[in-house]
Amino acid sequence: MYSVFYCAVSQRLILAQEVTVNADVSESAPSGFFQILFSGGTPGVIIIVLLLLLSVYSAYLIVDHFLTIRRSDLIPDGLADIVRQSLITGDIRGAQQACKEKPSFLAFVLMHGIAELEFGWSAVEKSLEDALAEQSARLFRKIEYLSVIGNIAPMIGLLGTVIGMIMAFQNVASTQGTASAPQLAEGIYQALVTTVGGLIVAIPSIGAFAVFRNRIDQFVAEAAYVTQHVFAPLRRRPKRNGASS
């Protein structure tokens, strides 16, 4: 009888201790989004702030590129037709003026071709190719920052996770293994927050970079086709000794 009573009392004490431990853990564990976000201590907060800054800069770049890398800005409507007609009639100054009135990717390429008209078609073609390569490289450099952010953000998040894991296991070592499983799990999930933050920043950045890269490839190919069409009437003309006005 006494043994049964002792066992019942022991079970009740164990259950009470477990309830107390779980209550302490639930009270100490952060529950809100921002509490979890900034629960990784000073190193975690620094890394989260850095990721937030990268996310803001990435959002700015995405909006800016959507507003500037557009067909209407790179290849203005009507410019190719005006320049082509001016070259057919020999109005070189008119072609140059049309390009100056609509500064753009296409205008830059056409101006380089017009500048080489007096040296023949071979010189014009070479100048067009060089101008296209220069302008396309400039556009690719412009969007390269998105790729950089997409590559370094997960690395920064992983750095925060590694630091958090080191601190969690250091706590286990300092307590000589007496730390409970909930306490260890809390330290681990706090450390993983930075990895999640890095991925949240990286995924949109890499996706936007891919979209803009494809758009630039498309616009460069279209600009190359348009310039060939503009200068097509001059291919078989004899070498010019001077530009007509």
pLDDT of residue 120: 84
pLDDT of residue 210: 96
pLDDT of residue 80: 92
Integer Cα distance of 152 and 55 in angstroms: 12
Chain CA centroid to CA 192, Å: 22
Closest CA to 227 of 97, 130, 101, 138: 130
The residue ranges of every structural domain in the chain are: 1-30, 33-234
Specify whether the backbone of 69 is left (phi greater than 0), alpha (psi in -120 to 50) or beta: beta
pTM for this predicted structure: 0.74
pLDDT of residue 163: 81
Copy the structure tokens of residue 175: 């307590």
Long-range pairs, 24-28, Cβ under 8 A, ≥24 = 25/180, 25/182, 25/183, 25/186, 28/186
Residue 128's alpha-carbon distances to 42, 121, 218, in angstroms, are 55, 10, 17
pLDDT tens per residue across all 245 residues of the chain: 444 433 443 444 344 444 444 444 444 445 554 555 555 566 678 888 899 999 999 999 999 999 999 998 999 999 999 999 988 888 899 999 999 999 999 999 999 999 988 888 888 889 999 999 999 999 999 999 999 999 999 999 898 888 878 777 777 777 666 666 666 666 676 678 888 889 999 999 999 999 999 999 999 999 999 999 999 887 765 554 444 43
Closest CA to 228 of 85, 84, 118: 84
Chain CA centroid to CA 182, Å: 37
pLDDT of residue 75: 93
